Amino acid sequence: MTTLPTASGSFGDKPELTFPEGGAPSGLQVQVLSEGNGPVVESGRTIVVNYLGQTWGGHVFDNSYDRGTTIDFPIGVGAVIGGWDKGMVGQNVGSRLLLSIPPEHGYGARGVPQAGIGGGDTLVFVVDVVDVK
């Protein structure tokens, strides 16, 4: 079994990821770092989150913590990468999650070169589920 990265801090804190030896796991991996007790995120709702996104073993390409504001978007309806749609639905508000998203559920073979995401990169996100509307 491939181990997932560990994340520092707790809900609301900007995390730092520490990666294990070896490569990224295959398939979508969702680990609940701390379980919230708020409403369940349902497909078609708008989710409000703080997040940090990093390539596996590489650089942080985006994070909302430094901007000091959450981001919200529809979930479960194809508005975001598949790994978010699949990994976030069914989670509770107030949870901190670690998502390891393989390219087929992320940006695929194209990547996002302007963000420094290569084709075939596995993405790792730490996501704080702040609210659902």
Please tell me the predicted confidence (pLDDT) of residue 52: 98
Distance CA(5)–CA(42), nearest Å, equals 27
Q: Is the pLDDT of residue 10 over 60?
A: yes
Q: Using the structure block, give the residue that is written with the tokens 């107030």.
A: 94
Pick the closest to residue 76 from 45, 49, 32, 103 (CA basis).
45
Q: Is the pLDDT of residue 54 over 60?
A: yes
Please tell me the predicted confidence (pLDDT) of residue 2: 60
Q: Using the structure block, give the residue that is written with the tokens 């420094």.
A: 116
How confident is the model over 74-82, as a mean pLDDT? 96
- As a CATH number, domain 27-132 is 3.10.50.40
Using a cut of 0.75, tell me whether the model's pTM lies above it: yes
Question: Are the C-beta atoms of 95 and 67 separated by less than 8 Å?
Answer: no
Distance CA(30)–CA(42), nearest Å, equals 16
Q: What is the mean pLDDT of the chain?
A: 96
Residue 79 backbone phi and psi in degrees, to 5: -80, -20
Q: Which residues contact 19 (CB under 8 A, 6 or more apart)?
A: 5, 56, 57
Which sequence spans correspond to the domains of the chain?
Answer: 27-132
How many percent of the chain have pLDDT more than 90? 96
5 is written with which tokens?
A: 């990265």
For the chain, the straight-line distance linking the first and the last C-alpha, in angstroms and rounded, comes to 36
Chain segment 85-98, per-residue pLDDT in tens: 999 999 999 999 99
12 is written with which tokens?
A: 């609301």
- Furthest-apart CA pair in the chain: how many Å? 39
